[in-house]
Structure 1
């Protein structure tokens, strides 16, 4: 690649099947425009539900439902702060996957 990053290559080794299955599950969990929007918002840092609702223009119960899916897939983590919960991405790799997919779709 022009930026010096390694070229993606085939997955090999004894854990190939496990890695492909895990990647498939990850992509299934991301397979929703609202969940992609949530991850995109969280790429900028932790957010509370009401902040995600405002940013995405979606009803609070729907945002909460999608956050549950993302938590179950270990894509986001939740941390209680007094009466509110702050959601963050588990790692930055997820943000790169989503933001790259969005950029690619816009080309």
Structure 2
């Protein structure tokens, strides 16, 4: 491990590890992983996620709230519905790689 740069605070590497840990905690649910997998294909409405995952609408909404609070997903209102999107495609890579690894 390289020492922190003279301009970086000494606790910066620890903060990055804590942020990564928080991200992984937010993803630590089969339903949330499924949501991210579905959103990796593009924005979706709640009813589309319910159909794709085969779980109830309240359960999907509960997990979407956690993902929104963790800034993993964002929303866009379109008419009377809300469309969910991943904030960053890197999240999709993390989840899709983890799923592929688990299937090996």
Q: Which of 1 and 2 has greater Rg?
A: 2
User: SS at 1:28's partner residue?
Assistant: helix
Q: Identify if the C-alpha distance between structure 1 residues 89 and 12 changes in structure 2 by more than 3 Å, giving closer, same or farther.
A: farther
> Unmatched 5+ residue regions in structure 1?
1-9
**TM-score normalised by structure 2 residue count:** 0.91
The answer to whether structure 1 residue 34 and structure 2 residue 31 are counterparts is yes
> Unmatched 5+ residue regions in structure 2?
5-9
**TM-score normalised by structure 1 residue count:** 0.88
The answer to whether structure 1 residue 99 and structure 2 residue 96 are counterparts is yes
Match of 1:83 in 2: 80
Report the Cα distance in structure 2 between the residues aligned to 1:16 and 1:23, rounded to whole angstroms. 11
Q: Identify if the C-alpha distance between structure 1 residues 86 and 16 changes in structure 2 by more than 3 Å, giving closer, same or farther.
A: same
Structure 1 runs of 4+ aligned residues shifted over 3 Å read none
- Map residues 1-107 of structure 1 onto 2, 5 A cutoff: 13=4, 14=10, 15-107=12-104
Provide the aligned length of Structure 1 versus Structure 2.
98
Report the Cα distance in structure 1 between the residues aligned to 2:66 and 2:2, rounded to whole angstroms. 27
CA RMSD of aligned residues (A): 1.2
